[in-house]
């Protein structure tokens, strides 16, 4: 089967099974794709035969012989600081939803024992699209003490570049927030998490 450069009307992924879906989502945003397994025993021969003469821009070879793989996705959005700067004069309600979603994700990481390691500087590690996306987990650890929520809250509301803005729109008692964060730091449970949300008047 030869690679031919021509645009066709629909994308096709054949013979890839569970791995086909993330490959198609990643590659077929702009180009037509036909994929197949290099290991012939894994090919759905009848399905692949149907598409083997389709002209495509990419013939993607997948070799699914490992137990683990990562599905990567392009996130079309803004880094956190750019989002805040661009939309801070828009709906405060929408901003509150984004912040609530971000802090809840941090809480989920905490209670699962995963420390991101770099959330003290959120501007480099969060992208905002339809929701908040925490990225760059290359420094993550399951062995050190987790501090995702406390680090993120301190950046947003206490020591970050937009903390004064957030203190104003959230009407935050900073000393009380520090106390609640300290309580959470030593006992990361739902009650202490909810206490922080209550101080910030956030809802999921």
What's the whole-model pTM score?
A: 0.66
Say if residue 195's pLDDT is above 80: yes
Note the pLDDT tens digit of each residue in 131-153. 899 988 888 899 999 999 999 99
pLDDT class of 17 with cuts at 50, 70, 90: low
pLDDT at residue number 7:
41
Say if residue 103's pLDDT is above 50: yes
Give the residue range(s) of CATH 1.10.510 domains in the chain.
78-200
Note the pLDDT tens digit of each residue in 68-100. 555 566 778 888 888 888 776 667 888 889 999
Q: DSSP states of the chain as a string?
A: --------SS----S-GGGHHHHHHHHTTTS-EEEEESSGGGS-HHHHHHHTT---SEEEEE---SS---------SEEHHHHHHHHTTS-HHHHHHHHHHHHHHHHHHHHTT-B-S-TTSGGGTEEESSSEEE---TT-BSSSPP-HHHHHHHIIIIISTTHHHHHHHTT--HHHHHHHHHHHHH--SHHHHHHHHHHHT---
pLDDT at residue number 95:
86
pLDDT at residue number 9:
41
Say if residue 173's pLDDT is above 80: yes
pLDDT at residue number 4:
42
Fold (CATH) for 78-200: Transferase(Phosphotransferase); domain 1 (1.10.510)
């Amino acid at each position: 089967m030869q690679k031919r450069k021509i645009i066709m009307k629909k994308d096709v992924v054949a013979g890839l099974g569970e791995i086909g879906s993330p490959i198609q989502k990643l590659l077929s945003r702009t180009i037509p794709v036909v994929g197949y397994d290099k290991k012939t025993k894994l090919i759905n021969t009848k399905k692949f035969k149907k598409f083997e003469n389709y002209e495509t821009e990419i013939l993607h070879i997948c070799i699914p012989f490992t137990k683990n793989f990562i599905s990567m996705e392009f996130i079309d959005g803004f880094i956190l600081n750019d989002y805040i700067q661009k939309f801070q004069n828009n709906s405060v309600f929408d901003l509150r939803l984004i912040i609530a979603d971000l802090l809840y994700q941090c809480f989920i990481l905490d209670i699962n024992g995963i420390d991101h390691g770099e959330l003290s500087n959120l501007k480099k590690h969060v992208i905002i699209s339809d929701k908040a996306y925490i990225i760059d987990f290359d420094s993550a650890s399951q062995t050190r003490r987790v501090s995702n929520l406390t680090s993120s809250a301190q950046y947003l509301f206490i020591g970050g570049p937009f903390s004064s803005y957030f203190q104003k729109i959230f009407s935050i008692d900073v000393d009380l927030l520090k106390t609640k964060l300290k309580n959470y730091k030593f006992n990361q449970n739902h009650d202490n998490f909810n206490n922080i949300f209550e101080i910030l008047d956030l809802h999921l």
